[in-house]
């Protein structure tokens, strides 16, 4: 029923947003960095300001990319 309704009334959008691929890549890198930092802190009991700054910058890039993707998607009707 859904396919029939979409065929008659709906439409299909094919999105090619390189920004979305970049967002996924940034998310993976940030997750890996956080996991590595967590592992090191558990092993050594220490963390460094430089590590936290790297994470902060990564998350800033991630949020910026997410905002850009959402902006692009909001232009679709």
Q: pLDDT tens digit string along 7-50?
A: 888 776 667 778 888 889 999 999 999 999 999 999 999 989 99
Q: For position 57, what pLDDT does the model report?
A: 94
Task: Give the up-direction half-sphere exposure of residue 45: CA atoms within 13 A in the CB hemisphere.
Answer: 0
Q: For position 6, what pLDDT does the model report?
A: 80
Spatial distance between the Cα atoms of 77 and 74, rounded to a whole number of angstroms: 8
More confident position, 20 or 1: 20
Residue 77 pLDDT greater than 70, yes or no: no
| pTM of the predicted model as reported, rounded to 2 decimal places | 0.67
């Amino acid at each position: 029923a859904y396919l029939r309704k979409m065929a008659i009334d709906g439409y299909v959008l094919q999105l090619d947003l390189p920004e979305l691929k970049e967002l996924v890549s940034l998310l993976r890198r940030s997750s890996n960095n956080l996991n590595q930092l967590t592992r090191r802190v558990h092993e050594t009991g220490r963390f460094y300001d430089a590590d936290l700054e790297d994470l902060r910058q990564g998350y800033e890039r991630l949020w910026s990319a997410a905002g850009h993707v959402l902006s692009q998607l909001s232009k679709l009707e």
